[in-house]
Structure 1
Amino acid sequence: MALWIFSFCIMAIEAWGYVYFFDTFLKKKDAGRLQRCRYIVLYPAVVAFALSVKYVGSMGIKVMLAVLLLAVFCGLFYRTDWKQSIFFSMLNYSLLFLTDILLLLTENVLASKDKLCALEYDFLYIPMKMVWILLLFMIRKIWKGRSNFRELSCKEWGVFFMVPLLTVASMLLMYFCYSGERKVQTAYLFLSVGLIFINIFVIELMQGILEKEELLRESALAGQKKESQLAHYRDMQAVYERQGRKMHDYKNQIRTVQVLLKKGDTRAAAALAERLTESISVEMAAVSTNHPVVDAVLNQKFHAAREQGVSMTFRVGDMGGLRLNEEETVILLSNLLDNAIHECVKVARQGRNAVIHVKLVQEGGKLIFSVRNPVVEKVEVTEGTGLSNVKAVADKYGGDFAVSCNAEKFQAVVML
């Protein structure tokens, strides 16, 4: 009975360590009460796993099942994809397995045992788990909260995956090919220590790459900020020029109204005055969202598009509580609208109807910004500066950015 209680305590420590490790690297999902119960969910799963794998003879299958269990747990409780789930599950279990083997080797070397078996004294399991917990504390200290793993390329993920795979393969090799020779035991002991440091080094290397990517993104955003400021000045100049032309037209139309009134044609004068009032209303504010920056960008792009024969339709909501700052708002809206206008100008030159459909609303606590426009031909979606900066804004707030294109239309959607 005491042995069962002791085993359940050991598994409780393991479950806590798993959660602590994943919390270090991954962002938790907004799952409400379920999110606060992730330890309560994982602990019985670890117990059930430990009881069931007793009937599995192959150690390799046991390791694969353990990694699968942890990967499923990651997918349920953390905002992660399958690559991250499998990688961090393998890394987590590798560190636990390594510390177990390290102390097993130490005990076996001291006792000169011929087989790598369980510890002779149960109380030595506590130091094994404490060493693992200390490693987790060390990793938490090293890691600086860089969790934007989307910046890593497939090639970089492939390189990182090699380390936990090599670690698991080495652990299984030591387990199946254990020798009673003191030299082999000592070599395995040093190999275990080396693998632990290699895994920690991989974490440090990953952090360095993410820091570099963040610096590059900030540099790109700074460049985009300068471009946005220049574009703003050009837009303001265009607004002044357009206002100057409109004022000249308005003066002529007002004179015409005066002439009609002098002639007594009040009906024609009233109709012309009504059209003039509608024209001024549209010119002043085509869109109103209760956010000055959003209104400025949308209205500027609306007038710029209209001057080039491109129409815009809007479905907008109240943006008064928008959490983006001014720079991010300009980057998000301007890049996608500029791309849409650029493509629609080509469509208009072919004599086709060029209409940009814009949706900007806040639904269910999320900001949804969608731009849909026709194209001349299917556009190859590339990671240009504009789209990269939009993606950077989406990533900063843990949102999603998706684009799609066929031979008829292009659509970009951002959800924050």
Structure 2
Amino acid sequence: MELLIVAIVGLLAKKRFQFKNTIWQDWLRVMLFPLTTTFCSVMFFQIYEIESSAGTELLLCEIVLLFFDVMAIWLLDYMDQQQAALQDNIILKRSIKQEKESMEALVEAYSDQRRKTHDFQNQLAIIYGLAQQESPDSQVLNYVRPLLKKEMLPTLITKTGRNVVDILLTQKYSVAIKNQILFQMQLGDLSDFPLSDEELIVVLSNLLDNALNACMDISNSKERRILLKMRTKEAAGFLYLENPTAHNVEILDNKIVPSKTTSIEHGYGLKNVTAILDNIGALYVFDYNSQKKLFSFSAQLPISH
């Protein structure tokens, strides 16, 4: 009966147990072993009343049954945790795939537009040359001349040796400018940065999106700023990001404690970041200065030779 009560209390205390989404099979899986032990205990007691000399043996059977019952409950809980971890891994892979496809499409579109721009400029140059030969005072020259000096797309703001990073940072920089956010970058050559393009996209996009959203919540535009530092040395790659926040951020065991208003996607974004860093054995720290209301993230990523 004690084991049965403990199982029920433990079930009620589980935060991830959603009663609205449970079915009778879930309840049966949790309560099967405690109910079985309770039934066996009643049967043992009846046998003891008939044959009291078997009390020692019955008590030993009860102890063994109780031990394996506890082990079975522990095993079920462990399997439940493994299932949750598997689900998180599936979501991570799905997110990485979506980010990769999105960035590949962006890189392809950017390259295609650059190629068209280059061809367009060449065609304009030929038109300008032909018009200049035929009529040096033509109005066509006055119209074409300024077009030759214009770009259809903004120039990449960074040159890190990683094309996807340059495009991603250019995109996030334009978002920051539109929202009156000062975006400062101190970047080195990232050709050998110890993350693949897909992993780097997921890490940077999630961290920068969180920083941008945090800055947008700040009413005073003069206080909105983001600082990103990235560099590579012989043994490791280093990443540092800081931004102010409008609300306090709680960090427990190097994890951000989600608030009641935090969306599920926001939580999974950070899970994707930490999962990638854990996979390569990186060292990382979330930090928050409550006095300055300044959030920071720093990571050291080993380079495998």
2:156 is the alignment partner of 1:284: yes
Q: Please say if residues 357 and 371 of structure 1, whose CA atoms lie closer than 8 Å, have aligned partners that are also in contact.
A: yes
Q: Please say if residues 366 and 415 of structure 1, whose CA atoms lie closer than 8 Å, have aligned partners that are also in contact.
A: yes
Partner SS for 1:309: coil
2:226 is the alignment partner of 1:356: yes
Deviation at 1:227, TM superposition (A): 4.7
Partner SS for 2:229: strand
- In structure 1, C-alpha distance between the alignment counterparts of 2:278 and 2:74, rounded to whole Å: 21
Q: Compared with structure 1, are the counterparts of its residues 192 and 373 closer, same or farther at alpha carbon in structure 2 (3 Å cutoff)? A: same
What amino acid does structure 1 have at the position aligned with 2:75?
A: E
What is aligned with 1:393?
Answer: 276
Q: Compared with structure 1, are the counterparts of its residues 236 and 292 closer, same or farther at alpha carbon in structure 2 (3 Å cutoff)? A: closer
Deviation at 1:396, TM superposition (A): 3.1
Q: Compared with structure 1, are the counterparts of its residues 344 and 320 closer, same or farther at alpha carbon in structure 2 (3 Å cutoff)? A: same
Deviation at 1:386, TM superposition (A): 1.6
What is aligned with 1:408?
Answer: 293
Greater relative contact order (Cα 8 A, min sep 6): structure 1 or 2? 2
Q: Please say if residues 221 and 389 of structure 1, whose CA atoms lie closer than 8 Å, have aligned partners that are also in contact.
A: yes
Deviation at 1:199, TM superposition (A): 5.8
Deviation at 1:334, TM superposition (A): 0.3
What is aligned with 2:87?
Answer: 216
Q: Compared with structure 1, are the counterparts of its residues 284 and 193 closer, same or farther at alpha carbon in structure 2 (3 Å cutoff)? A: same
What is aligned with 1:108?
Answer: none
TM-score, normalised with respect to structure 1: 0.39
Q: Please say if residues 301 and 337 of structure 1, whose CA atoms lie closer than 8 Å, have aligned partners that are also in contact.
A: yes
Q: Compared with structure 1, are the counterparts of its residues 385 and 202 closer, same or farther at alpha carbon in structure 2 (3 Å cutoff)? A: same
Unaligned runs of 5+ in 2: 1-12, 16-51, 129-148, 251-256, 259-265
Deviation at 1:325, TM superposition (A): 3.5
What amino acid does structure 2 have at the position aligned with 1:190?
A: C
Q: Deviations over 1:261-283 (max 9, x none)?
A: xxxxxxxxxxxxxxx9xx99x93
How many residues are matched?
Answer: 207
Deviation at 1:184, TM superposition (A): 5.0
Which residue, out of 188, 191, 197, partners 1:326? 197
Q: Deviations over 1:140-195 (max 9, x none)?
A: xxxxxxxxxxxxxx958xxxxxxxxxxxxxxxxxxxxxxxx974542454355435
Partner SS for 2:155: helix
- In structure 2, C-alpha distance between the alignment counterparts of 1:377 and 1:364, rounded to whole Å: 38
Partner SS for 1:301: helix
Q: Please say if residues 287 and 298 of structure 1, whose CA atoms lie closer than 8 Å, have aligned partners that are also in contact.
A: no
Partner SS for 1:284: coil
Q: Compared with structure 1, are the counterparts of its residues 211 and 321 closer, same or farther at alpha carbon in structure 2 (3 Å cutoff)? A: farther
Deviation at 1:365, TM superposition (A): 4.4
- In structure 1, C-alpha distance between the alignment counterparts of 2:108 and 2:180, rounded to whole Å: 20
- In structure 2, C-alpha distance between the alignment counterparts of 1:364 and 1:183, rounded to whole Å: 73
Deviation at 1:293, TM superposition (A): 3.6
Q: Compared with structure 1, are the counterparts of its residues 391 and 293 closer, same or farther at alpha carbon in structure 2 (3 Å cutoff)? A: same
- In structure 2, C-alpha distance between the alignment counterparts of 1:234 and 1:305, rounded to whole Å: 18
What is aligned with 1:338?
Answer: 209
Partner SS for 1:352: helix
Q: Please say if residues 100 and 198 of structure 2, whose CA atoms lie closer than 8 Å, have aligned partners that are also in contact.
A: no
What amino acid does structure 1 have at the position aligned with 2:205?
A: S
Deviation at 1:346, TM superposition (A): 4.7
- In structure 1, C-alpha distance between the alignment counterparts of 2:58 and 2:180, rounded to whole Å: 76
Q: Please say if residues 394 and 415 of structure 1, whose CA atoms lie closer than 8 Å, have aligned partners that are also in contact.
A: no
What is aligned with 2:30?
Answer: none
Q: Deviations over 1:7-35 (max 9, x none)?
A: xxxxxxxxxxxxxxxxxxxxxxxxxxxxx
TM-score, normalised with respect to structure 2: 0.50
Q: Compared with structure 1, are the counterparts of its residues 397 and 230 closer, same or farther at alpha carbon in structure 2 (3 Å cutoff)? A: closer
Which residue, out of 158, 165, 190, partners 2:61? 190
Deviation at 1:368, TM superposition (A): 3.6
Q: Compared with structure 1, are the counterparts of its residues 200 and 374 closer, same or farther at alpha carbon in structure 2 (3 Å cutoff)? A: same
- In structure 2, C-alpha distance between the alignment counterparts of 1:376 and 1:396, rounded to whole Å: 32
Partner SS for 2:242: strand
Greater fraction of residues in strand = 2
Partner SS for 2:240: strand
- In structure 2, C-alpha distance between the alignment counterparts of 1:396 and 1:191, rounded to whole Å: 45
Which residue, out of 55, 66, 76, partners 1:205? 76
Q: Deviations over 1:209-243 (max 9, x none)?
A: 233123321332244236525753468768959x9
Which deviates more from structure 2 when the two are superposed, residues 329-338 or residues 209-218? Answer: 209-218
1:1-400 map, 5 Å: 183=54, 185-187=56-58, 189-191=60-62, 193-194=64-65, 197-198=68-69, 200-201=71-72, 204-225=75-96, 227-229=98-100, 231-232=102-103, 233=105, 283-288=155-160, 290-347=161-218, 350-362=220-232, 365-378=235-248, 382=258, 384-399=267-282, 400=284
Identity %: 23
Q: Supply the RMSD in Å over aligned alpha carbons.
A: 4.4
Greater fraction of residues in helix = 1
Partner SS for 1:370: strand
Q: Compared with structure 1, are the counterparts of its residues 220 and 361 closer, same or farther at alpha carbon in structure 2 (3 Å cutoff)? A: same
Q: Compared with structure 1, are the counterparts of its residues 388 and 192 closer, same or farther at alpha carbon in structure 2 (3 Å cutoff)? A: same
